[in-house]
Structure 1
Amino acid sequence: MRLLLLTFLLFSPMCFGKTVVVIESYHGGYKWDADYVAAVKSVLGTKHDIHVLELDTKRLKKSEWPQKVAEIQQAVASIQPDVAILGDDNAFTLMAEHLVNQHIPVVFLGVNGGPEQHPTLNHPLVTGILERPFFAESIRHLRKVLKKNERFLVLMDDSPTMRNAVNEYFGDERQPTLYGSRLDIVLTNDKQTWLESVFNAHYRYDAIVVGTYHTIRDENDNYAPPKEIMTEAYNRAQVPIFSFWDIFVGEQAGIGGFTVSAHQEGLTAARLASMILNGMKPDRIPQMKSLSGHYVYSRSGMKHWDLTLSSLISSQSNFVD
């Protein structure tokens, strides 16, 4: 079965004239979504009819989600897809059960929760990629990059995605040790708390590693635009800011690291969908974890923090800006 799966993932022959719906937890302006949607279209778009729907749960208040879900359900009923690709935990939570009840096969990507949070993961019409940040690999890598590497602040929003990722790997522990380095894990949706954690990090930490920061709100419960938050953090931080995701690396953002690739997740999800479109049943396709990370660095960030990579790491890295 593993050999068969690998063969399909590499070559993924496709049939014609099928309809695919991609349901985003977030929105097209969010780089994670944009990257994986582009990857899905690159695999399936020339031969299949693809519809992209946005739940927009990073910007909408939770009280507004039910109305949005109803709109998406109506759209799905009109589209009548042959397969649905769900991006991230919120889309899976809000849409997976409805889809399988309509006998629509589901391929997921970016899901951090397991069956305890998402019982529909065990449904025979469901398969996909469980997204797992490379916590240990990232810290091991940063220990090689930094001269000081004893203490790291791991800073994230308090979103379902981040809670699930942290809880699965670390359980209830919020001050773990990895490869000899101490981590303090902070999850918050409060803008002031998030920013003050960055501003004061140099008193206790050698570096910051960020997860997502896209469900943060201010004291008036207004949505805090992620780019504005990171720009302020970048300009006022006194220790370098790294990232677990490649989409958060760039100008006035994360400096880099060993990261999860949205593009790779999208390619894999599209190939799994292709297998279903060619007649394979989802329960014959094993669910998998994120296949591989990659080294990504921002040239402007390296200059800003006066950081130099070894020749070996540099030769293995992709560079942006």
Structure 2
Amino acid sequence: MIAKRFLLLALLVIPTWALALPHVLIIESYHPENSWDREYIQGIKSKLDGMAELSFFSLDTKRLPTDDHLNQATLAFRFMHEVNPELVILGDDAALALMGPKLARMKMPTVFLGINADPTRYFENGKLPSTLTGVLERPQYKSSFALINELLPKARRILVLLDQERTSPILRDEIAAVADARVHVQIVTSFEDWKNKVTQAPEQYDAILLGPYQALLDMEQNNVDAQQVIHWTYHNSKIPLFGFWDFQIGREAALGGAVITGFEQGAVAGAMAKAQLQLPQQTQAVRPSSPARIMLSRSQIERWKMTVPATLRNRVSWLP
């Protein structure tokens, strides 16, 4: 009984700060409704729920004009000083470009995810600061083209459509480095131009591979909702659609792809953040992108009357 009373008294005198969870600030390049953001945040939470208190700030760079991005970064830093985190997680290239250099100068422990470019390009000396690490995002181009070849062995040409988002020129150059002459990449600014490319595609192409489409503008220069884009594209494309990311695949979306997932990106970043909080002085190497996962929609395979080769079936994650 005396021992129990002593333990209870000991717990009562522990200062409240010792029981507080470490604070982690997650800064999104995009916006909370974005499918990619939703997925990677769930991945982060799978590793940090109960281990850290989480705060969020959205830079909203897909929907806001470029001229507003620096102001968004200023607001993000202001919010960061209010919540005073022990660690910051940066989602995607825009956040790393806008926030990374200043966070490095502040010596703020930082973990990034979803980075398409070489992360060192965002720092003046071309070297990643020791306080930053994270996981890269590399769409699986070769695996994507190989999948199309398996499902459409007679395909002659493939159109890759990208919006005007910051990472699209990076994706275009990476595709050009690995693709053959059958693959044609086009960066599109407006939703109207996107519609025209999709409508005219059957004249030259046998399949469309969808890149980012969350930064298309309408006639009034407003951002078009991504669900509207994929819904229109599904209903109006006369040739099969493929995607690089899992959220693009489904019953009324692309029929399949060799995809990477936001959840896996977030889970890796969350695990790295957790390890950094537990052992702050350690240095963690940048992680490569996760391997591709083959996803196909059963209803879409039926719609296009495709035959899935036996060699492919045991590698497929099936969706409705």
TM-score (normalizing by structure 1): 0.87
Q: Distance in 1 between matches of 2:173 and 2:98?
A: 21
Deviation at 1:115, TM superposition (A): 4.6
1:3 maps to none
After superposition, what is the alpha-carbon deviation per residue over 1:216-262, rounded to whole angstroms, capped at 9, x for unaligned? 10232121112112211111111100001111112321111101111
2:100 counterpart of 1:96: yes
1:147 maps to 153
Deviation at 1:41, TM superposition (A): 0.5
After superposition, what is the alpha-carbon deviation per residue over 1:51-80, rounded to whole angstroms, capped at 9, x for unaligned? 121111111122222332222111111111
Deviation at 1:168, TM superposition (A): 4.0
Q: Distance in 2 between matches of 1:233 and 1:123?
A: 42
Q: Distance in 2 between matches of 1:26 and 1:281?
A: 30
1:166 maps to 172
Distance 1:237 1:75, change over 3 A: same
Q: Distance in 2 between matches of 1:29 and 1:18?
A: 26
1:296 maps to 295
TM-score (normalizing by structure 2): 0.88
**Gap runs ≥5 in structure 1:** 1-14
2:307 counterpart of 1:308: yes
| Alignment-mate amino acid for residue 90 of structure 1 | A
| Alignment-mate amino acid for residue 83 of structure 1 | L
> Which has the larger Rg?
2
Give the conservation status (yes or no) of the 8 Å contact 2:47–2:270.
Answer: yes
2:139 alignment partner, one of 133, 151, 160: 133
Give the conservation status (yes or no) of the 8 Å contact 1:86–1:92.
Answer: yes
Q: Distance in 2 between matches of 1:115 and 1:92?
A: 8
Pairing of 1:1-321 with structure 2 (within 5 A): 17-115=21-119, 117-119=121-123, 122-168=128-174, 170=176, 176-177=179-180, 182-281=182-281, 284-321=283-320
SS at match of 1:200: helix
Q: Distance in 1 between matches of 2:249 and 2:175?
A: 23
* RMSD, aligned α-carbons: 2.0
Report how many aligned residue pairs link the two structures.
Answer: 300
After superposition, what is the alpha-carbon deviation per residue over 1:10-53, rounded to whole angstroms, capped at 9, x for unaligned? xxxxx982111111111111110000001100111122111121
SS at match of 1:27: coil
Q: Percent sequence identity over matched residues?
A: 28
Q: Distance in 1 between matches of 2:114 and 2:281?
A: 21
Q: Distance in 2 between matches of 1:168 and 1:280?
A: 35
Q: Distance in 1 between matches of 2:159 and 2:24?
A: 40
